Amino acid sequence: MNTVVASILAVLGLTLFDTASAQLIHTCVDNKQGTIRVASTAGCRSSESPLSWNQVGPAGPTGPAGPPGPQGVTGATGATGATGATGAMGPMGVAGVQGPQGPQGAQGTPGPVYRAVLQSAAALPNSAVLQINNVPAGNYQVNAFVRLVSTSVTANPKIGCTVYVFPQSGGQFVPVQAFAKFYKDTTSSAMSGLYAAPGPFGAALNCGFETPDDYYSGQGIEVWPDITTLVFTKVGDFLP
């Protein structure tokens, strides 16, 4: 009997399984003839034995992996994503080496010039004062020149000249620089210096005998400035 049933199952390609583990097809096998019929809802007869098998066979083992397929075509470029947030500032880098010195720039425009010129003044000591007023604050290059003329070539009075500045609003004369020590063999002298003015000011160039003795030794001798020049050229703004 068992041989007959196994032969039938082999021909049909069916496998016997436990009825509790899968959906089954229920049949009845004739105990004498070995014939099989599908069981009705009433079940098998007394001359038959019940036989059931699965409607679906078990899954076979996994087959070997197939060869890789050909590479597909490149897809279209996607849309640009949104800009991300700005990252934190990184640490300051090391200072680079100093570059070569650049070419010299073009000469700047000359600053304002304040000038006074005196020619053929009266004899000392009653004159030879040259004055400039209303000069604005700033840094100045100061230049002065004096040439004296005397009626005597033997007298030896000492004559000196000094540049003074004073506040334009009024105040004491302050000497900037003394120059021009005149003797009988010296007839001209010049000076050059710098002056920083914090506010508006005036300036004067004054020449005279250095001591009363020099004045008295020159009695009867006329000495006067032939040409006297005082120039203040602004070279920059005042920096305290």
Q: Quote the pLDDT of residue 64.
A: 93
Is the previous residue joined to 125 through a cis bond, with omega within 30 degrees of 0? Answer: yes
Most confident of 42-56, 121-135, 164-178, 218-232: 42-56
Does the pLDDT of residue 226 top 80, yes or no?
Answer: no
Q: If you average pLDDT over every residue of the chain, what do you get?
A: 75
Q: Is the pLDDT of residue 231 over 70?
A: yes
Q: What percent of the chain has pLDDT over 90?
A: 9
Q: What is the mean pLDDT of residues 133-157?
A: 78
Burial pattern 65-92, b for ≥16 Cβ within 10 A else e, equals eeeeeeeeeeeeeeeeeeeeeeeeeeee
Where do we find the tokens 């599908």?
A: 38
Q: Which of helix, strand or coil describes residue 133?
A: strand
Q: Which 3 state secondary structure label does DSSP give 30?
A: strand
Contacts of 39 (CB under 8 A, 6+ apart): 26, 27, 28, 50
pLDDT digit string, tens, across residues 156-165: 667 777 888 8
Question: DSSP E strands: which ranges in 69-222?
Answer: 113-119, 129-135, 138-150, 159-167, 174-182, 188-197, 201-209
List strand residue ranges (DSSP E) for the chain, in order: 24-30, 36-38, 48-54, 113-119, 129-135, 138-150, 159-167, 174-182, 188-197, 201-209, 223-236
Planar angle of CA 18, 22, 26, nearest 5 degrees: 70
Summarised one tens digit per residue, pLDDT across range 5-14 is: 444 443 444 4
Count other Cβ atoms within 10 Å, centred on residue 196.
14
pTM above 0.95, yes or no: no
Q: What is the pLDDT of residue 154?
A: 58
pLDDT band at 16 (very low <50, low <70, confident <90, very high): very low
Condensed to tens digits (0 to 9), the pLDDT of residues 76-130 reads 998 998 998 998 988 988 988 998 998 988 876 777 888 777 655 555 554 456 7
Distance CA 142, CA 230 (A): 8
Given a cut of 60, is residue 171 above it in pLDDT? yes
